[in-house]
């Protein structure tokens, strides 16, 4: 059995290597991993990374390699406006689009620097850039809206 969810516009499934862990996706490539223990629920916040055409995450010495699932064009069911908000504190490194640009699902919109790493926020669905709500070098707080897209 595997967990299936969407990360940065891509559907991903992670096979279980340690059945005690369950994965709960968050927009922007973050995942909350949970495991019930006698002392209570253990939670870890982890980032998903892309490498050689697949997505992966490392948790307690196990490497979980995600399979990118085929997805029909125009499917917005797993996409949401939350995908266009900052998911963690960071700094806007670069704006990759301008107001009025038409974008396809998965198009990089904003480059964010956090924890000495760069992450791109990608369009969760095809649309047009309605407004850009941040500026380059701006410090971000979690939940802060980055871009508005019209469908």
On the 0-12 / 13-18 / 19+ scale of CB atoms within 10 A, 41 is exposed
For residue 102, is pLDDT > 80? yes
How confident is the model at residue 19, as a pLDDT? Answer: 64
Whether CATH 1.10.630.10 fits 81-150:
no
For residue 73, is pLDDT > 50? no
Q: How far is CA 122 from CA 34, 50, 62, 100, in A?
A: 26, 13, 27, 16
Where exactly are the structural domains of the chain? 2-69, 81-150
Q: Read off the pLDDT of residues 23-71 as tens digits, 9 standing for 90 and up.
A: 777 766 667 778 888 888 888 877 666 666 666 666 655 666 666 555 4
Q: Say if strands 21-26 and 30-37 run parallel, antiparallel, or are unpaired.
A: antiparallel
pTM above the 0.85 mark?
Answer: no
Mean pLDDT for the chain overall: 75
């Amino acid at each position: 059995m595997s967990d299936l969810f969407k990360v940065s516009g891509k559907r991903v499934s992670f096979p279980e290597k340690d059945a005690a862990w369950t994965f709960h996706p968050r927009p922007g490539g973050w995942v909350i991993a949970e495991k019930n223990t006698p002392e209570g629920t253990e939670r870890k916040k982890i980032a998903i990374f892309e490498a050689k055409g697949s997505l992966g995450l490392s948790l307690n010495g196990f490497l979980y390699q995600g399979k990118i699932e085929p997805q029909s064009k125009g499917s917005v069911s797993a996409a949401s406006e939350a995908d266009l908000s900052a998911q963690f504190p960071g700094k806007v490194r670069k704006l990759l689009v301008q107001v009025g640009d038409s974008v396809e699902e998965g198009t990089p919109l904003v480059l964010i620097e956090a924890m000495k790493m760069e992450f791109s926020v990608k369009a969760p669905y095809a649309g047009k850039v309605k407004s850009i709500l941040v500026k380059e070098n701006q410090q971000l707080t979690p939940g802060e809206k980055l871009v508005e897209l019209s469908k």
